[in-house]
Chain A
Amino acid sequence: MVQGAAPAAVARAAVALADELADAAIAGDRRALARLLTAVENRTPVAEAAMRRLYPMAGRAHLVGITGPPGSGKSTLVAALIAEVRGAGRPVAVVAVDPSSPITGGALLGDRVRMQAYAADDGVFIRSMASRGHAGGLASTSTAAAAVLDAAGFDLILLETVGTGQSEVEVAAAADTTVVLEAPEMGDEVQAIKAGLLEVADLVVVNKGDKPGAQRTAAQLRAMLVATAVRDADPSRPRPKRPEVLITTAATGEGVPALLAALDRHRAAGREGVSAAARLARAEAQVWAIVTDRLRARLHDDANRGRTAATLEAVASHELDPYAAADVLLAGLADPDPE
């Protein structure tokens, strides 16, 4: 970006670079694709301009979310899925998220360790992302990154979340199909009937199937998850999903062909019956994240920084309650009259 250039010139330069990178990425240039993903992660004007071009081309890929507790085998399962998918000759992209440090902002992105066998294969593209303070299991820009990979022609996109606990359900809004991994002996039947992560699963996978207890864990999950009442259900009320429960041993590939088949079945079923509500929910999640970002940016811009800081100080010292503070800040944006 040119220092000191007029904003209009900067914007034109961003659009020109975005067009160049987008055309190249669509034509198969992996370096251009990687640079676009960086722009998306950093929320640059280039990313915005590129999105205008790429978003209409996206929406074709199957987005599969892979989530589960730390160490349950998400990366190993993703690697096993890559092998299976490449065996069928289909291109596949991975967005693998690891947490950013809440203290330093740094991150250790270690998911590639399990996926390095595909360096020479142009049909595989793997990108690590740091969560950068976003708390839902993905980075705030993961959905946009997936849209770029989708537009670049990847037919299957695996979104691997950070290691999750019980309630990081955001991936379900980002993905067409959500796979929740469990490790054997991680909990009893009461864990399986708690609300949260397991509820958003389209497929539940008990990984490390060669470990003792895998069969029993799967049986418990099946009993509890499938026991959802459907008879006499009021169709106007939201109903939990009834996920299939599979067993895999990702390290050996056992059960992975069945998992890919289940993913493909879910995709085919979704093609016919994906509810407009689910698509709207994804659109809302994306737009809402951007609205929030832009609000925050405006509250810290030159015109508003002073009032924002003063209002936060007033809340910190308990002179103003947080609700009133939010009203003050929103009113200030609506009426951009300097103090």
Chain B
Amino acid sequence: MTDRPLKVLIAKPGLDGHDRGAKVLARGLRDEGFEVVYTGLRQTPEMIATAALQEDVDVVGLSILSGAHMTLVPRVTKLLRERGMDDVLVTVGGIIPDVDAPALREAGVAEIFGPGTTIAQVATFLRANARPRD
């Protein structure tokens, strides 16, 4: 089933209240032909994992600006693994210092998109790396 749209969850974990970037990305991916589930601000890792499971998404994109990524991201990837969704592509966007990247990749993050990343770059990466599905 190659012509079906990829389904992406764009989620903002944690307490920062700034979601313009997440909304612009959600809108941009919509224009790239993705089906984008947007869940709003201040999501707990549990909310994100539940939404990813119920929506059966191909990609979980986490947007974090608050600096809490080292706490929140591994909790999301752990919950996804526990619920059998270890084949879901997880990406992170926002303000992530380079020194944290290896640990996030170790936790299961496929790619980190920093400031200046274009929507086309994100779309290309997701199309190339989302899991093949039944």
Contacts and interface: CB of A to CB of B under 8 A. Distances in A.
Contact of A104 (B26, B31, B39): B31
Nearest to A128: B37
B104 interface: no
A31 interface: yes
Interface stretch (B44-52, B68-76, B90-98, B108-116): B44-52
A30 interface: yes
B16 interface: no
Interface residues of A, number: 32
Contacts, number: 92
- The number of chain B residues touching the other chain, given as a range, is 20 to 34
A22 to B, nearest CB: 14
Given A101-B31, A116-B51, A37 B37 contact: no
Given A46-B134, A128-B55, A105 B33 contact: yes
Nearest to B26: A108
B5 A107 contact: yes
Interface in B27-84: 27, 29-40, 43-44, 46-47, 49-51, 53-56, 83-84
B43 A106 contact: no
A108 B85 contact: no
A119 B1 contact: no
A107 B30 contact: yes
Contact of B40 (A38, A106, A116): A116
B5 A38 contact: no
Interface of A: 1, 17, 30-31, 34-35, 37-39, 41-42, 44, 46, 100-101, 104-110, 112-113, 116, 119-120, 125-128, 130
Given A105-B5, A112-B51, A116-B40, 12 more contacts: A17-B134, A30-B53, A30-B54, A34-B53, A34-B55, A35-B56, A35-B134, A44-B134, A106-B34, A109-B38, A112-B38, A126-B54
